[in-house]
Structure 1
């Protein structure tokens, strides 16, 4: 496949494994890149910028293909040293950066000075236009179906993807609710030039989490996700389990975030991903779990998606006589 996304990123297929906390490590990232897609390390999964540099080196030992680093920038009283994490990535020779959260504007000059390509993930056309204006190279537009934080506009991909493709002049990558070749074909037909998958890559053999977590994604249907933190206007989509139900119950009672902080802690989530005790923490996942019914290797998954995408596009073309 060849389009602006593959050309800008130097990859065979416009399939991106987005940055995911605790998942975006060398084994998964290198497997996606070796399969012809773009693997992305998650900077803040590493405890320090120095550890990120080491993880970049480990990834390079596993692939000679392009890969990127995700930097999710969030407002905080005590923010992590974002500039230092970015410097660790750029100084290690990484030339693809995925940004998310707030505007990457303050960090864009350093990225551009290093010659890096910037993919910015956002959940609305207005934010995508702002990112295009300041100079990002690719927009990853995240529909309401996605895992993680879908924003507060509640716009699904069927509307959001073509709206973004119509409004922007830079390439658009479709994110949220995509996990197979049908989804990729639909995204391309709506004007996107690639796809970004998070949840689907979580259920692969190389994903560095307990097999029970992957099996929970296989077992889930498209109805088995829950929206949490809505009352705090920080909506997140997670898999339905006792903890997500407890969080929602507290929210319905008007509880302040401090009352549920212990349920939502990152340390608790990481422990669950490591132990496989699915019922013990929030486990992030999108509605695409309803399309997941196996745990393939990344190579098998990418090959299948590309093949199925071609088949669906060919079938659709045949409708026109």
Structure 2
């Protein structure tokens, strides 16, 4: 089970509040699309101002954005232009990416960083699972895990009843004993 978006949307998340609010404000699962606009590879993201611009952009505009982000990435990492070109060529050769995808791949780290680190959700992208459209809270990780365990226990009990078998021995005591902060988990 992939639960990255659910754990991203918690009280302890290091993601800036302005960006988290954009996730919480996404009420329509249809606003979470699979797009190739950022780097040519399919990714699920919440539609926002930048993604909308990337979706509408033609090849030359995307190339310009990719080159601009590549230069910003170069400054951020200290890589030379030659290093970036070598990396792009290797990606194209080793990962079976097109030249265009390899050049556009410079977009990903810089554009994601705008939203997820710098707290500018309109100027970055919001990677997301489809579930973001139905999540409307930011519980603590502890609350979230307890809710997941409780729901799993309820589902197991319901399945046991439907199967006509004896109740499955579950309960919060087993969880609390094993997963109390400070206890080692086997």
TM-score, structure 2 normalization: 0.57
CA shift for structure 1 position 265: 4.5
Deviations 1:62-88 (A, max 9, x none): xxxxxxxxxxxxxxxxxxxxxxxxxxx
The match for 2:9 is 203
Indicate the residue corresponding to 1:289 in structure 2.
Answer: 132
Note the residue ranges of structure 2 that are not aligned, 5 or more in a row. 70-106, 165-186
Which of the two has greater strand per residue?
1
Deviations 1:167-194 (A, max 9, x none): xxxxxxx32xxxxxxxxxxxxxxxxxxx
> Which deviations, in whole Å up to 9, do the C-alpha atoms of 1:137-186 show, x marking residues without a partner?
xxxxxxxxxxxxxxxxxxxxxxxxxxxxxxxxxxxxx32xxxxxxxxxxx
* Residues 86-97 of structure 1 mapped to structure 2, 5 A cutoff: none
Distance 2:141 2:18 in 1: 18
Distance 1:231 1:265, change over 3 A: closer
Preserved CA contact (<8 Å) 1:224 1:239:
yes
Runs ≥4 residues deviating over 6 A: none
Aligned to 2:52: 245
State the Cα RMSD in Å. Answer: 2.5
The one of 59, 63, 66 aligned to 1:258? 63
**What TM-score does the superposition give when structure 1 sets the normalisation length?**
0.35
Q: Give the superposition deviation at 1:243.
A: 0.9
- Map residues 118-267 of structure 1 onto 2, 5 A cutoff: 174-175=1-2, 197-221=3-27, 222-229=29-36, 234-250=41-57, 253-254=58-59, 257-261=62-66, 262=68, 264-267=107-110
Does the Cα contact within 8 Å between 1:232 and 1:257 map onto a contact in 2?
no
Measure the CA separation in 2 of the matches of 1:274 and 1:231: 17
Matched, 1:303 2:110: no
Greater RCO structure (CA 8 Å; 6+ sep): 2
Deviations 1:78-120 (A, max 9, x none): xxxxxxxxxxxxxxxxxxxxxxxxxxxxxxxxxxxxxxxxxxx
SS at 2:45 equivalent: strand
Structure in which a larger fraction of residues adopt helix: 2
Q: Aligned partners of 1:246 and 1:218: how far apart in 2? A: 22
